[in-house]
Amino acid sequence: MTPALVLLGLEEDRRFRWVPPDSLLRGLTSDDVASVGSPTVLGLRESVETVVTANGWRLVPDSADYEIAIFTVARTELRRETRTEQAVTATTGLPRCDESKGQRAGSTCSNNPVSSRSYEVGVPLTVRNVFHVVRRRADGAVRVWVNPDGNLPAVEATVARDLLRLFLSRDPE
């Protein structure tokens, strides 16, 4: 995202429009951009629209005072995990006997202490986040919310509450 002023408040009775996220941010994938049509995003969009229209905002196709984008982003990250491997018994080089299987110490297993080693591996993990972006066109001031998409009702409540606080702040242009 291009460095911008932080949006500290919102005025009532303004015009807004929904915009594709790649018009506000760089580096998005085609899946990120396509997410605007997903049921998840459409539901979140409805809750944002309810808050802004309750404060006198009107949806317009162009010549808007504000631009809003909501979308999801999924990225694969490597999470470090420690794994422990119990190798062979330290003195004989044989695997440890499993007494539950009736194994007894001898030529195929041993009851001597087992050596172990720990090592770290990178495990791929897909991280999904929901982005809400509101930009004032007059000066480019922006407010961005980034939330994990695991609890969408909490995301809706957080963004709605923050939007209401912004309306109470009444940041002049």
Give the whole-number percent of the chain exceeding pLDDT 70.
Answer: 88
Confidence (pTM): 0.74
pLDDT at residue number 42: 93
- Name the band, by pLDDT with cuts 50, 70 and 90, for residue 148: very high
pLDDT at residue number 89: 53
pLDDT at residue number 65: 97
**Strand ranges across the sheet with 66-89:** 58-59, 15-18, 66-89, 114-136, 142-148
Over range 71-99, report the average pLDDT: 79
Rounded to a whole number, what is the largest CA-CA distance in the chain? 86
Residues 83-95 pLDDT 10s: 887 665 556 667 7
Whether 36 and 10 have beta carbons less than 8 Å apart is answered as no
Please check the confidence at residue 60 and state whether its pLDDT lies above 70: yes
